[in-house]
Structure 1
Amino acid sequence: MDAIDHDILARLVEDGRASYAEIARALGISRASVRERVQRLREQGVIENFTVVVNPEYLDKRISAFLDVQATPAWLPQLAEELAACDEVASLYVMSDMTSLHVHVLTADMPALERFTQARLFAREGVLRVECKLLLSRIKHRRGGARL
């Protein structure tokens, strides 16, 4: 990837609906060049998908909780698979200690969050500890870019 590819990606992260012509004008290159580069980036797996970012509050998801879940290593893969299948789970990561998951959960309200944790975590064999932090305000959020 060169600097032009990076510039194209930055513009698509900002606005995934930007046309090839708009990007070309901004970068001073041809529309065909932008189209070819985007296609190559898709084929290489650099661009995984074009998607939309929806404000969760419009989907009646007003509570944003970040759960750090420690589990016994033998149960971690199954727990991760089960949690990943839950509608409430927005994102889920296995952490470097290989015994914990970082889980972003979106629910309509506090009772829904409590029901989720009771059913999916507290009553679950293999779960050792759960720490919960609630989002108070969003200052900056990632609209795209590298998945880390």
Structure 2
Amino acid sequence: MNKLDTALLNILIKDGRTSFADIARQLNVSRAYARTRVQALVDAGVIEQFTAVVNPEKLGKVISTFIDLKVAPQAIDAIAEDLAARPEVVSLYIMTDLKSLHIHTLTDSYDTFNAFANAYLFSRPEILSVESTALLKRVKHRRGGARL
């Protein structure tokens, strides 16, 4: 990767539907070169997919909650897989201590979040502790992926 590839990626991160002609104009390269570089980045696995970024609030998902769980280590993979399958869970990470999960959920109300917590968190004896906080205000986010 070079500086031109990094600039190209930042264009696509901002808008994955940017045409090869627009990319070429912004980078002062030919359209064929822009297309070749995008395809090379796809082939190399640098670009994994082109996708839409959906505004959850427009879908009624207005409660954004972050949950930190402590889980019995022998159950962490099973708990992670079960929770990852839930539609409320938009991201889930196993942390380096191998007993913690960090989870982001989106729900339409606090009642819906509470029902999720009661059904899938509080009912599991392998989950040793639960801490959750709801998002108050988004200041910076990585919509579209990391900026390079």
Q: TM-score, normalised by structure 1?
A: 0.96
d(CA) in 2 for partners of 1:2, 1:71: 42
1:2 matches 2:8 = no
d(CA) in 1 for partners of 2:113, 2:144: 27
d(CA) in 1 for partners of 2:120, 2:43: 38
Tell me which residue corresponds to 1:103: 103
CA contact (8 A) 2:94 2:102 kept: yes
Q: Which runs of 5 or more residues in structure 2 are unaligned?
A: none
d(CA) in 2 for partners of 1:48, 1:144: 12
Tell me which residue corresponds to 1:128: 128
CA contact (8 A) 1:10 1:145 kept: no
CA contact (8 A) 2:53 2:144 kept: no
1:26 matches 2:30 = no
Percent of residue pairs bearing the same amino acid type:
52
Tell me which residue corresponds to 1:94: 94
Count of residues in Structure 1 that have an aligned counterpart in Structure 2 = 147
Q: TM-score, normalised by structure 2?
A: 0.96
Tell me which residue corresponds to 2:35: 35
Shift of 1:58: 1.2
d(CA) in 2 for partners of 1:143, 1:32: 28
Q: Which amino acid aligns with 1:64?
A: S
d(CA) in 1 for partners of 2:43, 2:141: 27
Query: What are the residue-to-residue correspondences of 1:19-98 with 2, within 5 Å?
Result: 19-98=19-98
Q: 3-state DSSP class of the match of 1:128?
A: strand
CA contact (8 A) 2:68 2:100 kept: yes
Structure 1: 4+ residue segments shifted above 6 A: none
CA contact (8 A) 1:93 1:103 kept: yes
